[in-house]
């Protein structure tokens, strides 16, 4: 009898592009004009690869639907992750958060997953700039001393602008 993980992995790897949740919006032909081009849609191959990588590397905590597990300290991506991608400090955080920075994904694969997650779980960022392998590679080696503190600071900065991130309870006293 095969383990549940092995069966899930086998099923995931056999999925076609049609099974991958499609990101919203439209893109110019060719997906933009270079690494700094705005992105509104990934190619089917990028989307399929990102979805598979997300399912294998991220969904264990953030769930298959991006809903997270707040009571375990894992924030939801839904309606929140795009807010982080819309600020330089938020982008840096997304790359350097331990689950991303320490994943087995290459810099290019992680950039693709981050782009897919932002476009899939939003909210929509009007002028979203795609993460690049170079951006990921430059930030990734710099680990956080206190990731919870950084997340609280980002949430505070965004809240002052009227933007609310999903709850992040990691490192908090359950009585609070």
Give the residues across from 38 on adjacent strands: 129
pLDDT tens-digit map of 54-82? 999 999 999 999 999 988 889 999 988 99
Q: Which pLDDT value is given to residue 171? A: 66
* pLDDT value at 12 more than 70: no
| Angle in degrees, CA 151, 70, 21, rounded to 5 | 95
Q: Quick check: 73 and 170 in contact, CB under 8 A?
A: yes
Q: Which pLDDT value is given to residue 40? A: 64
Q: What is the mean pLDDT of the chain?
A: 80
Distances 26 to 8, 29, 38, 42, 154 between C-alpha atoms, Å: 31, 9, 11, 9, 29
Q: Which pLDDT value is given to residue 17? A: 43
| CA-CA-CA-CA dihedral for 163, 145, 96, 53, to nearest 10 | -110
Cα dihedral across residues 121, 127, 133, 137: positive or negative:
negative
Q: Tell me which residue has tokens 């598979």.
A: 52
| CA-CA-CA-CA dihedral for 135, 137, 139, 140, to nearest 10 | 140
Give the phi and the psi of residue 108 in degrees, each rounded to 5: -65, -40
What tokens does 55 get? 């399912």
Give the C-alpha separation, 85 to 163, whole Å.
13
Give the CATH H-level superfamily of domain 38-160: Cytochrome c-like domain (1.10.760.10)
Give the start-to-end residue ranges of the domains of the chain.
Answer: 38-160
pLDDT tens-digit map of 123-158? 888 888 999 999 999 999 999 999 999 999 999 999
* pLDDT value at 4 more than 90: no
């Amino acid at each position: 009898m095969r383990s549940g993980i092995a069966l899930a992995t086998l099923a995931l790897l056999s999925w076609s592009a049609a099974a991958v949740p499609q990101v919203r919006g439209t893109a110019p032909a060719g997906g933009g004009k270079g690494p700094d081009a705005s992105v509104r849609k990934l190619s089917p191959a990028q989307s399929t690869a990102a979805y598979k990588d997300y399912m294998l590397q991220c969904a264990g905590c953030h769930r298959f639907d991006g809903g997270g597990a707040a009571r375990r300290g894992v924030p939801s991506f839904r309606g929140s992750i795009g807010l982080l991608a819309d600020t330089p400090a938020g982008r840096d955080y997304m790359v350097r958060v331990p689950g991303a920075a320490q994943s087995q994904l290459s810099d290019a694969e992680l950039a693709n997953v981050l782009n897919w997650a932002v476009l899939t779980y939003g909210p929509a960022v009007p002028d979203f700039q795609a993460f690049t392998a170079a951006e990921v590679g430059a930030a990734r080696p710099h680990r956080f001393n206190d990731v919870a503190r950084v997340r609280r600071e980002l949430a505070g900065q965004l809240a002052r602008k009227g933007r609310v991130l999903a709850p992040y309870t990691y490192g908090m006293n359950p009585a609070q």
